[in-house]
Amino acid sequence: KGVLFVGFQLLVAMKLQGALPNLAMPLVFAPYFVLEGFYLVEKIIAGVLSYSAFAAATAADPSAGSGQSRSNLVLEISNSWAMSVLRLSFGVLVAFKLDHTIDTSWWITFIPVWIYIATLVVPHKADDHQHDDGASEASLGGLLCVLLMTLVFMSPFFILAYRLQSAEFSSFYVLLPWFIVVGVLLLPWLVMVLCGVLSCVCGCCCGRRSKDDVTDENGDRSSHASPANHHVV
């Protein structure tokens, strides 16, 4: 898997560099397709084994599966398979789109991404209908939070699709939402570091000032004591 991942990165870099001008984009993406195929096969095998073990356990002892229902297990397995299928299909669409084999808009090419975004929100919406009236406000708040976080973290894909389709602006703006999120997350840490530096500087300045005051006070005392000693002599 590591060889396939590194090989895909090398082929992409060489293709962008112009070292492989005659190599079709689907062939450049071939290591990625094989890698995602491995992941999909592994998930299918793991899902079948998990379901078989769950079915055998519940058949022998019905109380063994009380913590998890059969429908929830099937939903988790199906969701795991769907994610791999979406990633694989998105890679195929991008490869053939870059190779000009398919003549569709980038919005259609990004359909697997839009489906993935929908899967992030739809389960929470379904859970919201299952709650009673007492918990409806909390469920609505959770749904709004999920929508907001999904919009923030998935917005670069919308900007990228718009950028590739028709817009002419800097690619910097594609990742701008993530830069803003990172800046907001780092802001408290930067404030703490700045406060620490300022406290150290203030401590050093105050300590030096108090030391200078003590030195001046000792000098004044010695100057007052010197004439008295001279008079006694």
Determine whether 107 is exposed, middle or buried from the number of CB atoms within 10 Å of its CB (0-12, 13-18, 19+): middle
* Local confidence band at 215 (pLDDT 50, 70, 90 cut-offs): low
- Look at residue 135 in the predicted model and tell me its pLDDT: 54
Q: Give the distance from CA 114 to its chain's centroid.
A: 17
Determine whether 158 is exposed, middle or buried from the number of CB atoms within 10 Å of its CB (0-12, 13-18, 19+): middle
Angle between helices 70-98 and 30-60 (to 10 degrees): 170
Residue 124 has pLDDT above 60, yes or no: no
pLDDT tens-digit series, residues 151-162: 888 889 999 999
Residue bearing the bigger pLDDT, 228 or 175: 175
Share of the chain above pLDDT 90, in %: 28
Domain map (residue ranges) of the chain: 1-103, 142-205
100-114, 185-199, 202-216, 217-231: lowest mean pLDDT where?
217-231
**Which residues does 221 contact at the CB level (< 8 Å), separation at least 6?**
none
Burial 89-102 (b: 16+ CB within 10 A, else e): ebbbbbbbbbeeee
**Which residues does 29 contact at the CB level (< 8 Å), separation at least 6?**
8, 91, 92, 94, 95
pTM value is 0.71
Residue 24 has pLDDT above 80, yes or no: yes
pLDDT tens-digit series, residues 98-116: 988 998 899 999 999 999 9
Residue bearing the bigger pLDDT, 208 or 199: 199
Instruction: Give the integer Cα–Cα distance in Å for 129 and 214.
Output: 74
Distances, alpha carbon 121 to alpha carbons 81, 128, 151, 181, in Å: 18, 11, 10, 20
**Which residues does 7 contact at the CB level (< 8 Å), separation at least 6?**
31
DSSP state for residue 171 in the 8-state scheme: G
pLDDT tens-digit series, residues 31-56: 999 999 999 999 999 999 998 988 88
